[in-house]
């Protein structure tokens, strides 16, 4: 296989995908509108954190298989992996997909393949990409092949999952799907399932919506459990012993660029019909405020007024450096709205990413009247509470990530989201 690939969008998905093909002997040219991202790749500097990415990038660039610039170059295959965010009113913003598609039109030739990897509302290939691609003058589906091949990898384990996960490939024609399958077989070991583009679009959005709805269910139960005086984590553990039950877990909210975003695509398309999906989104979005209010209630119970809160964990989930749509930042806003002062720390987030960040965990602990753990980072789980030099002996775990017994033994008053007992 000697095809050349142009990857448009060098972010969390585009860069690992580009590197992966390059490591398998394919000539890859990466394109990003951000000159700083292009420069950093040329210099083998990472602008994102991902296990194994640095070594693979070094190899790809050193061996001459990966180049980068701000404009596309003529290739045999074009992979579009650009953001597909939502607007402030929760409608889909497909402008990046449209612009990226338009940017490759001057380069496509007969026999080329265009693949969309970005997660998009069903019908985006048909209604947003194809109207741009027809401008090439090529006949779509016979002269120019087009497919949707949504990524399904999880940050932190991208390389493992790129290889091992099954892939759903939806072509606008059978040949489009087959050519796409052939391409990904260069490194994918999971099964590649073929379908049409709209089905593939729906499948990807459905997967993330399934999680959002299931997490909303857990969050609703967590709120109820506090009234029932039940520990929801224990209840979920027991329920999940049932062979056909898989309840997800509550928390301070749902973040990231996928699960907190994609369900809105279905809400926009489904309108009145997307009731469970819409309600789940709202339930999950209510969790930062619920978390802030519980923090306030704990402080009140302890008679602490004008408190400083240490918000521990800014990333949207454990062991990643990604703050996109992070519920932690919304919890902080909600705490501040309640008149509380917030200091924060996250071992994975570089300095100056958030106004409340302290230089170190130590500095946060020395100032705070309560420690609120918002992200289940490994570093937090491994803390030895008996050695901590904290001003406060009150801890609130929103992710069930701490060893309650050890913290209580070290003299901490322990609070857990989804459990009224302390």
Give the footprint of ligand SAJ on this chain (CB under 6 A). Answer: 119, 151-155, 207-208, 211, 215, 248-249, 251, 254-256, 258-259, 316-317
Helices (H), 309-376: 327-337, 361-367
| Cβ closest to ligand SAJ, residue 138 vs residue 315 | 315
Q: Using CA atoms, how far apart are residues 301 and 344, in angstroms rounded to an integer?
A: 23
Least separation in angstroms between residue 148's CB and ligand SAJ is 13
Using the 8-state DSSP alphabet, how is residue 219 labeled? Answer: H
Q: Using CA atoms, how far apart are residues 309 and 5, in angstroms rounded to an integer?
A: 49
| Cβ closest to ligand SAJ, residue 84 vs residue 357 | 84
Measured between alpha carbons, how far is residue 131 from residues 116, 135, 149 in Å? 14, 7, 19
Least separation in angstroms between residue 133's CB and ligand SAJ is 24
Alpha carbon 29 to chain centroid distance? 25
Nearest CA to 94 out of 134, 135, 113, 122 is that of 122
Least separation in angstroms between residue 84's CB and ligand SAJ is 10
Q: Are 79 and 5 in contact (CB under 8 A)?
A: yes
Least separation in angstroms between residue 402's CB and ligand SAJ is 15
Residue holding tokens 């990524």? 151
| Cβ closest to ligand SAJ, residue 5 vs residue 287 | 287
Q: Is 182 left (phi over 0), alpha (psi -120 to 50) or beta?
A: alpha
| Cβ closest to ligand SAJ, residue 107 vs residue 217 | 217
Least separation in angstroms between residue 160's CB and ligand SAJ is 12
Q: Using CA atoms, how far apart are residues 162 and 165, in angstroms rounded to an integer?
A: 6
| Cβ closest to ligand SAJ, residue 27 vs residue 152 | 152
Measured between alpha carbons, how far is residue 349 from residues 82, 319, 326, 362, 377 in Å? 23, 10, 12, 16, 11
Q: What is the set of active-site residues?
A: 204, 258
Least separation in angstroms between residue 265's CB and ligand SAJ is 11
| Cβ closest to ligand SAJ, residue 117 vs residue 369 | 117
Q: Are 364 and 312 in contact (CB under 8 A)?
A: yes
| Cβ closest to ligand SAJ, residue 14 vs residue 155 | 155
| Cβ closest to ligand SAJ, residue 193 vs residue 211 | 211
Least separation in angstroms between residue 198's CB and ligand SAJ is 18
Sheet holding 4-8, edge to edge: 66-69, 27-31, 4-8, 77-80, 113-116, 145-148, 167-171, 192-196
Nearest CA to 147 out of 114, 175, 122, 121 is that of 114
Q: Buried b vs exposed e over 61-73: b needs ≥16 C-beta within 10 Å?
A: beeebbbbeeebe
Least separation in angstroms between residue 33's CB and ligand SAJ is 20
Residue holding tokens 């209840």? 235
Q: Using CA atoms, how far apart are residues 335 and 288, in angstroms rounded to an integer?
A: 9
Q: Are 401 and 318 in contact (CB under 8 A)?
A: yes
């Amino acid at each position: 296989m000697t095809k050349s690939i142009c990857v448009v969008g060098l972010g969390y998905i585009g860069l690992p995908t580009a590197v992966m093909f390059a490591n398998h002997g394919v000539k890859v040219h990466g394109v990003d509108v951000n000159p700083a991202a292009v420069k950093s790749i040329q210099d083998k500097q990472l602008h994102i954190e991902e296990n194994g990415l640095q070594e693979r990038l070094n190899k790809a660039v050193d061996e001459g298989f990966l180049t980068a610039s701000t404009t596309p170059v003529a290739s045999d295959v074009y992979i579009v992996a650009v953001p597909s965010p939502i607007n402030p009113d929760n409608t889909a913003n497909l402008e990046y997909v449209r612009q990226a598609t338009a940017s490759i039109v001057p380069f496509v030739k007969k026999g080329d393949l265009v693949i969309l990897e970005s997660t998009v509302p069903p019908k985006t290939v048909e209604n947003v990409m194809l109207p741009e691609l027809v401008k090439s003058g090529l006949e779509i589906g016979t002269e120019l092949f087009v497919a949707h091949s949504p990524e399904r990898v999880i940050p932190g384990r991208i390389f493992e999952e790129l290889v091992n996960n099954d892939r759903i490939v939806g072509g606008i024609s059978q040949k489009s799907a087959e050519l796409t399958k052939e391409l990904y077989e260069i490194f994918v070991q999971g099964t590649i399932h073929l379908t049409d583009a709209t089905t593939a679009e729906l499948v990807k959005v459905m997967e993330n919506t399934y999680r959002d709805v299931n997490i909303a269910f857990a969050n609703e139960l967590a709120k109820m459990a506090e009234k029932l005086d039940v520990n929801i984590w224990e209840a979920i553990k027991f329920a999940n012993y049932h062979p056909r039950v898989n309840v997800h877990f509550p928390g301070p909210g749902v973040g990231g660029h996928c699960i907190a975003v994609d369900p809105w695509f279905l809400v926009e398309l489904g309108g009145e019909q997307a009731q469970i999906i819409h309600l789940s989104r709202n339930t999950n979005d209510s969790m930062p405020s619920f978390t802030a209010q519980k923090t306030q209630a704990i402080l009140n119970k302890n008679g602490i007024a004008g408190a400083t809160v240490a918000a521990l964990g800014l990333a949207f989930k454990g062991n990643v450096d990604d703050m996109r749509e992070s519920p932690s930042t919304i919890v902080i806003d909600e705490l501040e709205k309640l008149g509380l002062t917030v200091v924060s720390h996250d071992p994975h987030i570089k300095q100056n990413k958030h106004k409340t960040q302290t230089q170190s965990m130590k500095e946060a602990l020395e100032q705070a009247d309560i420690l609120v753990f918002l992200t289940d980072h490994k570093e937090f789980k491994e803390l030895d509470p008996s050695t901590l030099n904290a001003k406060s002996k009150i801890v609130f775990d929103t992710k069930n990530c701490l060893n309650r017994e050890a913290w209580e033994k070290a003299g901490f008053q322990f609070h857990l989201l989804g459990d009224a007992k302390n």
